[in-house]
Structure 1
Amino acid sequence: MDNITRRDAGLPYISDDAVFDQQKVTRRLLREFNTTDPSDFETLGRLAGKIVSGAQENVSIMPPFYCDYGFHIQVGKGFFANYNCTILDVGKVTIGENVLLAPNVSIYTAGHPVHPAARQSGYEYGIPVTIGNNVWIGGNVVITPGVHIGDNVVIGAGSVVTKDIPANVVAAGNPCRVIRRITDADKKYYYKDREFDPESWAKVEAVEIGE
């Protein structure tokens, strides 16, 4: 079995020439993307569509952006990644609709064996990561291999997510843990105890979130 097949099957694999050839294509696209005039949103959007897979409706990625392959990243409409996002997409990264990534978010599917002998063999692995719909990931968050984050979740800044996070919660910390549930009582606030003004509240009330 060749190493690309092993990698995509979630088996231990070695980064041989064939693997690096795939990365070379992506690195050329990333160089073009990351050196594009940051005010040229049209070109950035076109290049982002070549780098990541999935729905490209209202998808926005701020440079610089880094990934291994891009074709292992599936994003839904309304996806936004702020500056300096890194996604090591050795394994599949599936991201739902209306997901917001703050600056310096890192999503890692890649890893190496714990034992030094196994590590020196050259084998590595990729375990998929899944993020649901309507998720906000705070700045400097790290998401590790195999994690599943449910719908409507907020992950606090600086968190290290090592285990699954259920839907409809605020979670934070290192390791990341559930802090509290998100309820309808949260809807009228835009920041802590600050309520939406009447003009903005009318727009908030018009938004429908699917279950």
Structure 2
Amino acid sequence: MLTLKNITFISLLMLAISIEINQAKECKIPENNEDIDWDKVKDDWYMVLHTNDEVMKKDVIGVRLRNISKTNEGMRMVITELHENSPPQTFTIESSKRRDGVYYGKKSEEPAVLASHTLTPDGRTNNKAKKIDDALFDGDNLVLCDEKNYLVYAFCSLSDEWVVWVAFPSLNPTIHQISLMWNKLIEKGIIVQLYPSKTVEHPEFMESLK
């Protein structure tokens, strides 16, 4: 079972790896990636780890993914987000497939969804978080998923840095599941430090939605 102690250890390990590996600073999605059979990706998924970007560290405290399905253009999923500065939001996201493992998001025009990542406690707009959203919806997303252990969204920020959001079938993934995800990121040349979602420490936040 994943514990906060495990996550701290893993984060420190990844930091050490990032120091040891001479990685190019350029954020570039690999050309060759694995296809995903979305019909095999069942049940609910929960965001457990992320790069502590402006969206995740300032507002989003938890994410649940469900009803994932294949479409003619790519894939569709229903997302429920818990926010620090606004009410929970549930919405559907559709992504078009560019090539194996690479998708292009369709931005929702719902005002609540557009603002959900970018609100500050005083109701203003967090422009740094807005830039993360702009990069998410205006560029390509690398999606890594072995269909049962991990589901990773990785994309380049407007400042050319990796943004990585990692979901597992449980808020308490096994060390084996985390290791599989870790190895896949390294294989793709994505060396980042990851941080736990707030719902890992407070699962009752997510459980209250059921």
**What TM-score does the superposition give when structure 2 sets the normalisation length?**
0.21
Larger Rg: 1
